[in-house]
Amino acid sequence: MKKKIVLLALLGAVIVLAPMVIFASSHPEVGSVAPQFTLPTQDGQPVSLSDFKGKWVVLYFYPKDMTSGCTQEAHNFQRDLAQYEKRNAVILGVSVDDVKSHKEFCVKESLGFRLLADTQHTVSEAYGTLSHMIFTHAARNTFLISPDGRIARVFDTVKPNEHSAEVLAAIDTLKH
């Protein structure tokens, strides 16, 4: 009986503490300067956040290329790409997958925006999205960065089917 009680107590502690272990750092706060970075795109070209000064940046983190939720989210961003361009916004997808995987994903799914390879996990850590659940990956979070380089909005609970429309609405709200 004592063993069962001890095991239940340990299980309870794991459930309570797991979120703290899974996400080692917190997200940058709204209003703070967005953490700077340089990462390679699916074509191997380096891209820096500073390249987009004066534009809205949709920096979306996703778990893995070629998975259903990530594919749906990417398709919706692709579908709405012209709407982002009208709003002076660029889309940058980030995962811990490598350049080759991103290239294959872009070709297979006909994606016309940049996917960034965070293989060293530095950007995912800087934005507090690195998850260590079943495998190490970026959690599904999005950061809307204003033209002056500040975090304008953080999306923690992302539903891939609705997310692009949600981000477009946020840009419209924040612009006025």
What is the set of active-site residues? 70
Look at the block and give the residue holding tokens 């080759």: 100
* Cα–Cα dist 114/46, whole Å: 11
User: Cα angle at 89 between 83 and 92, to 5 degrees?
Assistant: 105
Do the bridges between strand 46-48 and strand 38-40 make them parallel or antiparallel, or are there none, so unpaired?
antiparallel
Is the backbone of residue 128 left (phi > 0), alpha (psi -120 to 50) or beta? left
Which tokens in the block code for residue 107?
């070709």
Instruction: Look up residue 100 and give its amino acid.
Output: K
Closest CA to 170 of 150, 156, 152, 157: 152
Instruction: Return phi, psi of residue 48, to 5°.
Output: -115, 150
* Cα–Cα dist 67/63, whole Å: 8
